[in-house]
């Protein structure tokens, strides 16, 4: 006989709200209770029942605990939308907080802490103070958490009223749960505060380690997590701590185990004795393995953490590789993680077993998993020199099965193996060549072509093989075209006979005349010139020995790894990213919320005269805010440039108009430029710079600040080769810079001057020198949108036609989960200002789809489709362009544009 | 930070919110929409249980026809969050009397709200022990053999028990007959290659306990595990008795077990919760007695014909028998016709899972029934992908058998009133993931 609450969800014929109102004011208790349940049911399904606020609050004064809880629940949800009416509840709260029943006292404090309305918060302080000293541990443990809630709403209030001291006292409480909650609250407050609040001394440490034995499982997690920040003084202390923490490894709760592991790993850093370390590793292995028999979601968390742990301490699980073998029914995310760990644990000792497993996985159904398994074999070959041959024979066996994607993946990894062990395994090329015509993925094709070119002299029919690819040269994706070009040149240099000569003619012709791709064209021109001027030099360049590649299966660098290990069991360890990479500090958002706080607190103080004796609140809060502002990144903006040098700059700019463009516009008064060379790195010279587009021209806007003791002069600038071939159009015009002064300048730029090879990248390397200092190098990012030209607007029909005319392989898309579009008009305007032109909009389900066009120099169009739900985060961008290699740069630019 | 959740949502398979609770202010109330559009309505569902969308991260689990989604915006403790969900579901089940699904949630939403308020505060998990919560959170929907007290007046010392050092047992229990039931349940996980070599094999066992004991008893459990026995003989300074000892790879205990004492003395001592609970879990990888050996031979004769022969050997004592044995032998998707011969049990071709399912209800020890099947395949014109040959899977239960050889040596009960206890011990071995590649 389970509950029958579902009846409360059924709707009635009459208007619902008026009926509920009537029932809430009924004289019968039961009817009122039922009505409140109906209200809660309506709230659950998302109906707005906030208009019943007064009626529901009227039901609050009741002996019935269940009803009381429901009313409180309603209050938590709606108090914020009805702050003025919420005050009606205060009296009952305060009364409840003195109720003889500890459950009700705790409930009142717990609920008040959840209602984030200033007026309620004011009244919370006195009950909270009482409850922190309550006789009943249940009330105290609730009050402890409530302090953290209050700190989140109003940090100063917590400090002013001395709640932090009361909280610290609770660490010595005789009840373990109170201790645990107090620790959790203090740890959280510490995390959000820059002042030292919760410092763990060796005294607190030993007290907390003792409390660990009596805590609930969750309490143990709170304590272990808080203690993992503690730095032991020496190896002896560290050993002591670990001795008391190791029993936790036997706990049934995975969170306790992981927190214990975290703490042990931290303390282990101090241990020098290899015996002790070995012993600890031995103790940690079994509990980690046991985590793999938990629910798959928990397994996933454990595996992501184990991935980190084996990078730091490979010995822990060196003998346990078998437990990471995939079960047929494991969810795909578990399998993928297991595979990753298997690669990390693979060694000469176990490689045979591991290879058998990988081979088995390579015949499973899930394509992604199969590919990863094939790639894993290649990674093992690269990692373990002695096993490379066995790995290759497994790859060859897999190729023989002739499953298309297996073959292609195998060829991609074999190319890497050739790079790792040159001149060792070329005998297998013949086998590879058999699968030539089944290749249809660009990466696999490119890899195969690279192999043919690299070993052209050993493949008798290399010319025929390449020729077969050359037939559809114009249709191939850029990646394949580039490889074809290079491979043909290699072939020609190795076998300068008639056949290859004709081929090279055809390829060079194709790649220079018939293509729009500047990379391909440039590479072809370089080869052409090399070959026509000095074939020997061409040989030295094209056939030069390549550096040997290494094993990439341990990717994280050690400082990041250490940071992640300090975050075991948290999101950070699952994402393998440091916390600041994904936590958008809620603090900043809160600050704006709290801007109106001083007013509120004034009102509060006038009502509670007991506070008048304290420090005057508005001043303290002002000081607090100004301190906050100092920390904010925006306030780091440079001091306004002195007017005199500015004028001088203009004058000199005019004087030298012969070299620089005459119509050099004044520096725009926009947001401050990003600092690229901080004063600390530039011996007192600080450079901020950014590319901008002004009047259809690209400029490099620079700000020099001289914080040295001497005058700096003779500034010169140089740009390294980059994707867009950006270079200065004229010399840098900066007059001698006095100590303590700053100057803005706009450097006109040209494109397609010094283009770099390789995949497109937004990196811009800049060198600046002057007569007094060494040469400074710094990196900047090229925001692609500065290249968007004014003529990028397309008519609808034209857009559709271009869209259709481009093959699907020229379309890429990317998700921007963090981007929210709210004000569409403003966004469109902003995009249009950067020459990204709006074309059309349509609705698709609840999503809005926008179309844009833009163009970059040399007339390369970009057709853009943005899909999003207005007002909620997440935006998908699809781009179609003849020059698909540029898409990543485009996405980068779009992200900056939309984030502004 | 040990914060586990900023908000928790229970959604049905369509994505409707069944119930939700916001614990912290750092996530918006409509974040669940992002979950719906970016995970539920895409192929992403099931690819990864932890996802970041916008500034928030989502952890989700599916339990029967309900998605439980936790939203956070800080660097939360994921392990804690998932474990919290698992335990919360166990708690709800114990309140609803078994089932946890969409209907159960709708029918008990008031109760769930009340529990959600109690078991987590500001994102920090609190006490989730059903025994204790049932003392003061009571609803007419509750069905529990232990809640004998009238529901409207809260137990006066409930709060002390929630927070107490023995936060899992209430005081003042009285039983006429004091009984303890121990169930040793082992799952054998096996992965065997087609050539019959064991690739991976382990036993995960658990000891389930059902206690009907008065007062606050202290229990001590003795097993025939190696470390425990060694320690014991060391303490009593006399040589260990000969006999089979088991080496446990790892043990984890219910929170009632004194871990520090286990660490120093290797004894399992505890004050048990009332009623049923899982006392400990263990894992063994060495010296596992496999109850069954499976010897498959699969021949692909040409493109349309296959021969499948499977021999299953029971290697436990002849007096014992296994129950509910099911052997699933995979066949290709394009199977057209099958015919079998079995020496025991019944075989059937199940097209929905592409398997021949061979069931033997009672399977005595030391026997080796066989099945031979002929499979005809639909011939297809196009060159088809070679068949991937998924592994043969097996299910079984063998009562009074432990694959690890673990035995309970003693269970001692001390209570100040000094009553006598009756102890019952059962053993059973089940198939975990018992796979044989072919």
3-state secondary structure A771-814: CCCCCEEEEEECCHHHHCCHHHCCCHHHHHHHHHHCCHHHEEEE
SS (H, E, C) chain B: CCCCCCEEEEEECCCCEEEEEECCCCCCCCHHHHHHHHHHCCCCCCCCCEEEECCEEEEEEEECCEEEEEEECCCCEHHHHHHHHHHHHHHHHHHHCCCCCHHHHHHCHHHHHHHHHHHEECCEECCCCHHHHHHHCCCCCCCCCCCCCCCCCCCCCHHHHHHCCCCCCCCCCCCCCCEEEEEEEEEEEEEECCCCCEEEEEEEEEEEEEEECCCCCEEEEEECEHHHHHHHHHHCCCCCCCCCCECCCEEEECCCECHHHHHHHCCEEECCCCEEEEEEEEEECCCCCCCEEEEEEEEEECCCEEEEEEEEEECCCCCCEEEEEEEEEECCCCEEEEEEEECCCEEEEECCCCEEEEEEEEEECCCCCEEEEEEEECCCCCCCCCCCCCCEEEEEEEECCCCCCCCEEEEEEECCCCCCCEEEEEEEEEEEEEEECC
Are A570 and B283 in contact (CB < 8 Å)? no
pLDDT over 70 for what percent of chain A? 89
**B1 and A CB contact within 8 Å:** yes
User: Using 50, 70 and 90 to split pLDDT, how confident is the model at A130?
Assistant: very high
What's the rounded mean pLDDT across residues A140-149? 95
Q: Which residues of B touch A365 (CB under 8 A)?
A: 388, 390
pLDDT of residue A642: 38
Beta-carbon contacts of residue A719 (< 8 Å; ≥ 6 apart): A726, A727, A728, A754, A764, A765, A766, A767
**A116 and B CB contact within 8 Å:** yes
Are A5 and B107 in contact (CB < 8 Å)? yes
Between A172 and A884, residue with greater pLDDT: A172
pLDDT in tens, A835-878: 888 888 888 777 888 888 888 887 788 888 888 888 788 888 88
pLDDT of residue A654: 37
Q: Nearest C-alpha of chain B: how many angstroms from A583?
A: 6
pLDDT in tens, A102-112: 989 999 999 99
Q: Which residues of A touch B253 (CB under 8 A)?
A: 250-252
User: Using 50, 70 and 90 to split pLDDT, how confident is the model at A734?
Assistant: confident
**A187 and B CB contact within 8 Å:** yes
Q: Are residues B9 and B128 in the same domain?
A: yes
Q: Are residues B122 and B230 in the same domain?
A: no
pLDDT of residue B143: 37
- Closest Cβ–Cβ partner in B80, B106, B107 for A255: B80
CA-nearest residue of chain B to A846?
B37
User: Using 50, 70 and 90 to split pLDDT, how confident is the model at B383?
Assistant: low
**A644 and B CB contact within 8 Å:** no
Range of the domain at B84: 5-132
User: Using 50, 70 and 90 to split pLDDT, how confident is the model at A585?
Assistant: low
pLDDT in tens, A267-320: 999 999 999 999 999 999 999 999 999 999 999 999 999 999 999 999 999 998
How many alpha carbons fall within 13 Å on the CB side of residue A429? 25
Q: Nearest C-alpha of chain A: how many angstroms from B251?
A: 6
What letters, b where the CB count within 10 A reaches 16 and e where it falls short, cover A587-609?
A: eeebeeebeebbebbeebbeeee
Q: Are residues B41 and B57 in the same domain?
A: yes
pLDDT in tens, A33-42: 889 999 998 8
User: Using 50, 70 and 90 to split pLDDT, how confident is the model at B38?
Assistant: confident
* Secondary structure class of A849 (helix, strand, coil): strand
User: Using 50, 70 and 90 to split pLDDT, how confident is the model at A659?
Assistant: very low
Q: Are residues B279 and B365 in the same domain?
A: no
Say if residue A660's pLDDT is above 80.
no
Average pLDDT, chain A: 83
In a domain, B276, yes or no: yes
Q: Are residues B195 and B279 in the same domain?
A: yes
* Secondary structure class of A866 (helix, strand, coil): strand
What's the rounded mean pLDDT across residues B111-128? 93
Q: Are A893 and A783 in contact (CB under 8 A)?
A: yes
**B199 and A CB contact within 8 Å:** yes
What's the rounded mean pLDDT across residues A74-87? 86
Q: Nearest C-alpha of chain B: how many angstroms from A319?
A: 12
Q: How far apart are CA A721 and CA A723, in angstroms?
A: 7
Are A365 and B388 in contact (CB < 8 Å)? yes
pLDDT of residue B385: 62
Lowest mean pLDDT among A70-84, A474-488, B17-31, B151-165: B151-165
In a domain, B170, yes or no: no
From the list A736, A800, A723, A797, the residue with the least C-alpha distance to A765 is A723
Give just the sign of the alpha carbon dihedral A773, A775, A779, A784. positive
In a domain, B62, yes or no: yes
Are B389 and A363 in contact (CB < 8 Å)? yes
| B:206-235 residues touching chain A, CB 8 A cutoff | none
What's the rounded mean pLDDT across residues A563-574? 94
Q: Which residues of A touch B61 (CB under 8 A)?
A: 295, 297
Q: Are B380 and B304 in contact (CB under 8 A)?
A: no
pLDDT of residue B398: 95
Are A5 and B33 in contact (CB < 8 Å)? no
Say if residue A133's pLDDT is above 80.
yes
pLDDT of residue A485: 92
pLDDT of residue A229: 86
What's the rounded mean pLDDT across residues A405-416? 92
Are B255 and A103 in contact (CB < 8 Å)? no
**A110 and B CB contact within 8 Å:** yes
pLDDT of residue A607: 37
The DSSP H or E segment spanning A677 is strand A675-677
- Closest Cβ–Cβ partner in A3, A136, A364 for B139: A3
User: Using 50, 70 and 90 to split pLDDT, how confident is the model at B30?
Assistant: confident
Q: Nearest C-alpha of chain A: how many angstroms from B319?
A: 32
pLDDT in tens, B271-309: 998 888 999 999 998 889 999 999 999 888 887 889 999
Task: Output the furthest CA–CA distance in chain A (Å, rounded).
Answer: 105
Q: Which residues of A touch B125 (CB under 8 A)?
A: 218
* Secondary structure class of A568 (helix, strand, coil): coil
Q: Are residues B187 and B239 in the same domain?
A: yes
Q: Nearest C-alpha of chain B: how many angstroms from A48?
A: 13
In a domain, B249, yes or no: yes
| B:11-30 residues touching chain A, CB 8 A cutoff | 16-20, 22, 24-26, 30
pLDDT of residue B156: 55
From the list A338, A343, A404, A408, the residue with the least C-alpha distance to A376 is A343
Are A357 and B199 in contact (CB < 8 Å)? yes
pLDDT of residue A225: 93
The dihedrals phi and psi of B186, each to the nearest 5 degrees, come to -115, 140
Q: Which residues of B touch A177 (CB under 8 A)?
A: 126-127, 162-164, 167
- Closest Cβ–Cβ partner in A142, A225, A872 for B77: A225
Say if residue A329's pLDDT is above 70.
yes
Q: How far apart are the first and last CA of chain A?
A: 57
In a domain, B246, yes or no: yes
- Which of A181, A568, A873 should we substitute to test contact with B (largest number of B Cβ atoms within 10 Å)? A873
Q: In whole angstroms, what separates CA A822 from the centre of its chain? A: 22
Give just the sign of the alpha carbon dihedral B282, B285, B289, B290. positive
Mutual angle of helices A388-401 and A367-383, in 10-degree steps: 150
Q: Are residues B342 and B411 in the same domain?
A: no
Q: Are A691 and A780 in contact (CB under 8 A)?
A: yes
pLDDT of residue A900: 66
Q: How far apart are CA B280 and CA B254, in angstroms?
A: 6
Q: Are residues B59 and B198 in the same domain?
A: no
pLDDT of residue B238: 56
Region of A431 please: left (phi>0), alpha (psi -120 to 50) or beta: alpha
Say if residue A723's pLDDT is above 90.
no
CA-nearest residue of chain A to B22?
A77
| Total residues belonging to chain B | 438
Q: In whole angstroms, what separates CA B36 from the centre of its chain? A: 29
Are A328 and B252 in contact (CB < 8 Å)? no
Q: How far apart are CA A704 and CA A735, in angstroms?
A: 11
- Closest Cβ–Cβ partner in A4, A136, A817 for B53: A817
Q: Which residues of B touch A573 (CB under 8 A)?
A: 78
Q: Which residues of B touch A338 (CB under 8 A)?
A: none
Q: How far is CA B352 from CA B89, B332, B348, in A?
A: 31, 12, 12
**B394 and A CB contact within 8 Å:** no
In a domain, B164, yes or no: no
Q: Are residues B32 and B101 in the same domain?
A: yes
**B254 and A CB contact within 8 Å:** yes
Q: Are A164 and B187 in contact (CB under 8 A)?
A: no
**A295 and B CB contact within 8 Å:** yes
Q: Are residues B393 and B405 in the same domain?
A: no
In a domain, B186, yes or no: yes
Mutual angle of helices A254-268 and B78-96, in 10-degree steps: 160
CA-nearest residue of chain A to B206?
A252
Say if residue B155's pLDDT is above 80.
no
Lowest mean pLDDT among A402-416, B126-140, B204-218, B406-420: B126-140
Q: How far is CA B30 from CA A46, A407, A814, B26, in A?
A: 10, 46, 24, 12
What's the CATH number where B89 sits?
3.30.450.60
Q: Which residues of A touch B30 (CB under 8 A)?
A: 872
**A364 and B CB contact within 8 Å:** yes
Say if residue A137's pLDDT is above 50.
yes
Q: Are B434 and B294 in contact (CB under 8 A)?
A: no
In a domain, B415, yes or no: yes
B89 burial via Cβ count (<10 Å: 0-12, 13-18, 19+): middle
Q: Which residues of B touch A139 (CB under 8 A)?
A: 159
What's the rounded mean pLDDT across residues A380-401? 92
**Number of domains, chain B:** 3
Q: How far apart are CA A455 and CA A436, in angstroms?
A: 15
Q: What is the ipTM of this complex?
A: 0.83
- Which of A81, A138, A223, A361 should we substitute to test contact with B (largest number of B Cβ atoms within 10 Å)? A138
- Closest Cβ–Cβ partner in B76, B82, B249 for A298: B82
Are A569 and B391 in contact (CB < 8 Å)? no
- Closest Cβ–Cβ partner in A116, A251, A363 for B259: A251
Pairing of strands B408-414, B218-223: antiparallel
What's the CATH number where B358 sits?
2.60.40.1170
Between A256 and B137, residue with greater pLDDT: A256
pLDDT over 90 for what percent of chain B? 53
What's the rounded mean pLDDT across residues A625-635? 38
**B333 and A CB contact within 8 Å:** no
pLDDT over 90 for what percent of chain A? 33
pLDDT of residue A632: 38
Q: Which residues of B touch A76 (CB under 8 A)?
A: 22
Beta-carbon contacts of residue B82 (< 8 Å; ≥ 6 apart): A254, A295, A297, A298, A301, B49, B59, B61
Q: Are residues B294 and B278 in the same domain?
A: no
pLDDT of residue A618: 37
Q: What DSSP letter does each residue of A440-463 carry, written as one string?
A: -SHHHHHHHHHHHHHTTTT-TTHH
Are B52 and A873 in contact (CB < 8 Å)? no
Q: Are residues B302 and B262 in the same domain?
A: no
pLDDT of residue A337: 95
């Amino acid at each position: 006989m389970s509950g029958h609450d579902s009846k409360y969800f059924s709707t009635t014929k009459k208007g619902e709200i008026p009926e509920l109102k009537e029932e809430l004011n009924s004289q019968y208790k039961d009817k009122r209770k039922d009505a409140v349940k109906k209200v809660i049911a309506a709230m659950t399904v998302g109906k707005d029942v906030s208009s019943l606020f007064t009626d529901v609050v009227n039901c609050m004064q009741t002996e019935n605990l269940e009803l009381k809880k429901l009313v409180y629940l309603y209050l938590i949800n709606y108090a914020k939308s009805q702050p003025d009416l919420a005050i009606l509840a205060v009296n009952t709260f305060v009364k409840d907080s003195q109720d003889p029943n500890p459950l009700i006292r705790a409930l009142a404090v717990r609920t008040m802490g959840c209602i984030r309305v200033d007026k309620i918060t004011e009244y919370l302080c006195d009950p909270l103070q009482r409850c922190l000293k309550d006789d009943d541990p249940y009330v105290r443990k609730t009050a402890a958490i409530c302090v953290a809630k209050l700190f989140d709403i109003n940090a100063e209030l917590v400090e002013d009223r001395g709640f932090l001291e009361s909280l610290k006292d609770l660490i010595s409480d005789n009840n373990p749960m109170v201790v645990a909650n107090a620790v959790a609250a203090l740890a959280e407050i510490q995390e959000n505060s820059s002042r030292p609040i919760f410092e763990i001394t060796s005294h607190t440490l030993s007290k907390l380690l003792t409390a660990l034995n009596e805590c609930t499982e969750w309490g143990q997690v709170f304590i272990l997590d808080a203690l993992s920040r503690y730095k032991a003084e020496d190896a002896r202390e560290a050993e002591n701590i670990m001795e008391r923490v190791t029993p936790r490894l036997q706990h049934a709760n995975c969170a306790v185990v992981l927190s214990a592991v975290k703490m042990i790993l931290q303390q282990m850093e101090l241990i020098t004795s290899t015996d002790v370390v070995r012993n600890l590793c031995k103790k940690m292995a079994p509990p980690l393995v046991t985590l793999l028999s938990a629910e798959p979601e928990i397994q996933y968390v454990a595996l992501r953490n184990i991935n980190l742990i084996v990078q730091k301490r490979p010995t822990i699980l060196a003998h346990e590789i078998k437990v990471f073998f995939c079960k047929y029914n494991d969810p795909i995310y578990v399998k993928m993680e297991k595979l990753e760990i298997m690669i990390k644990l693979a060694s000469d000792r176990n490689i045979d077993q591991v290879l058998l497993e990988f081979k088995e996985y390579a015949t499973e159904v899930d394509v992604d998993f199969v590919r990863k398994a094939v790639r894993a074999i290649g990674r093992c070959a690269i990692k373990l020199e002695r096993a490379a041959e066995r790995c290759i024979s497994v790859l060859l066996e897999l190729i023989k099965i002739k499953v298309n994607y297996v073959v292609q993946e195998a060829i991609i990894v074999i190319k890497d193996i050739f790079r790792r062990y040159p001149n060792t395994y070329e005998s297998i090329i013949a086998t590879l060549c058999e699968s030539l015509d089944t290749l249809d993925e660009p990466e696999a094709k490119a890899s195969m072509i690279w192999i043919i070119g690299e070993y052209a002299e050993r493949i008798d029919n290399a010319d025929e093989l390449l020729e077969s690819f050359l037939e559809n040269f114009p249709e191939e994706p850029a990646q394949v075209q580039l490889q074809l070009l290079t491979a043909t040149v290699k072939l020609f240099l190795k076998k300068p006979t008639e056949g290859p000569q004709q081929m090279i003619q055809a390829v060079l012709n194709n790649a220079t005349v018939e293509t729009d791709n500047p990379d391909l064209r440039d590479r072809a021109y370089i080869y052409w010139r090399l070959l026509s001027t000095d074939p020997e030099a061409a040989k030295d360049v094209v056939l030069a020995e390549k550096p040997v590649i290494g094993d990439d299966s341990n990717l994280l660098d050690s400082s990041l790894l250490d940071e992640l290990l300090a975050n075991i069991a948290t999101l950070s360890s699952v994402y393998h990213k440091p916390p600041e990479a994904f936590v958008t500090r809620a603090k900043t958002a809160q600050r704006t919320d709290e801007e109106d706080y001083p007013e509120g607190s004034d009102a509060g103080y006038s009502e509670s005269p007991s506070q008048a004796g304290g420090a005057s609140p508005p001043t303290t809060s002002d000081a607090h805010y100004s301190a906050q502002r100092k920390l904010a990144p925006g306030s780091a903006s440079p001091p306004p440039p002195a007017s005199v040098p500015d004028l001088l700059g203009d004058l000199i700019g005019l004087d030298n108009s012969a070299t620089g463009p005459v119509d050099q516009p004044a520096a725009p008064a926009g947001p401050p430029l990003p600092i690229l060379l901080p004063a600390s790195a530039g011996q007192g010279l600080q450079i901020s710079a950014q590319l901008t587009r002004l009047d259809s021209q690209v400029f490099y806007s620079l700000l020099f600040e001289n914080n040295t003791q001497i005058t700096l002069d003779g500034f010169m600038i140089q740009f390294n080769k980059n994707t867009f071939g950006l270079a200065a159009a004229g010399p840098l015009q900066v007059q001698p810079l006095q100590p303590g002064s700053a100057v803005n300048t706009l450097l006109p730029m040209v494109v397609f001057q010094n283009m770099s090879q390789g995949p497109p990248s937004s990196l811009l390397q800049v060198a600046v020198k002057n007569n007094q200092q060494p040469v400074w190098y710094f990196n900047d990012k090229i925001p692609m949108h500065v290249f968007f030209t004014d003529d990028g607007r397309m008519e609808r029909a034209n857009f559709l036609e271009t869209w259709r005319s481009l093959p699907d392989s020229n379309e890429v898309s990317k998700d921007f989960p963090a981007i929210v579009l709210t004000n569409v008009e403003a966004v469109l305007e902003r995009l249009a200002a950067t020459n990204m032109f709006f074309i059309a909009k349509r609705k698709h389900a609840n999503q809005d789809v926008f179309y844009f066009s833009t163009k970059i120099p040399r007339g390369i169009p970009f057709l853009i489709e943005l899909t999003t739900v207005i007002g909620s985060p997440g935006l998908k961008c699809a781009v179609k362009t003849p020059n698909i290699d540029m898409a990543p740069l485009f996405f980068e630019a779009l992200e900056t544009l939309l984030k502004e | 930070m040990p914060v586990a959740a900023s908000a928790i949502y229970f959604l049905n398979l369509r994505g409707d919110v069944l119930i939700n609770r916001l614990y912290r202010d750092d996530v918006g109330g409509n974040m669940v929409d992002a979950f719906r559009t970016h995970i539920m309505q895409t192929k992403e569902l099931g690819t990864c249980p932890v996802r970041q969308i916008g500034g928030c991260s989502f952890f989700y689990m599916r339990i029967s026809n309900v998605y439980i989604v936790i939203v956070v915006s800080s660097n939360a403790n994921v392990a804690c969050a998932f474990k919290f969900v698992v335990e919360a579901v166990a708690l709800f089940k114990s309140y609803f009397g078994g089932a946890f699904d969409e209907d159960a949630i709708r029918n008990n939403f008031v109760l769930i709200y009340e529990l959600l308020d109690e078991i987590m505060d500001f994102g920090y998990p609190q006490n989730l022990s059903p025994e204790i919560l049932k003392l003061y959170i009571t609803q007419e929907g509750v069905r529990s053999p232990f809640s004998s007290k009238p529901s409207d007046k809260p137990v006066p010392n409930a709060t002390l028990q929630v927070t107490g050092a023995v936060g899992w047992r209430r005081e003042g229990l009285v039983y006429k007959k004091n009984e303890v039931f121990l169930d040793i349940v082992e799952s054998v996980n096996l992965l065997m290659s087609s050539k019959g070599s064991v690739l991976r094999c382990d036993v995960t066992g658990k000891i389930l306990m059902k206690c009907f004991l008065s007062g606050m008893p202290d229990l001590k459990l003795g097993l025939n595990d190696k470390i425990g026995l060694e320690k014991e003989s060391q303490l009593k300074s006399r040589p260990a008795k000969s006999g089979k000892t088991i080496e446990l790879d790892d043990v984890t205990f219910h929170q009632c077990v004194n871990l520090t004492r286990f660490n120093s003395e290797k004894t399992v001592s505890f004050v048990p919760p009332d009623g049923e609970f899982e006392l400990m879990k263990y894992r063994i990888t060495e010296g596992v007695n496999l109850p069954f050996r499976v010897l498959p031979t699969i021949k692909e004769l040409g493109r349309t014909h296959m021969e499948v022969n499977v021999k299953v050997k029971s290697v436990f004592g002849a007096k014992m028998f296994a129950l509910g044995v099911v052997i699933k032998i995979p066949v290709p998707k394009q199977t057209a016709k099958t015919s079998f011969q079995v020496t025991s049990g019944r075989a059937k071709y199940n097209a929905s899972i592409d398997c021949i399912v061979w069931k033997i209800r009672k399977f005595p020890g030391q026997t080796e029934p066989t099945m031979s099947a002929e499979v005809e395949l639909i011939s297809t014109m196009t060159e088809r992908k070679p068949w991937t040959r998924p592994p043969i899977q097996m299910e079984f239960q063998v009562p009074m058998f432990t694959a690890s050889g673990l035995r309970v040596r003693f269970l001692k009960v001390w209570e100040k009133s000094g009553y006598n206890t009756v102890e019952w011990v059962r053993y059973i071995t089940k198939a975990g993931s018992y796979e044989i590649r072919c």
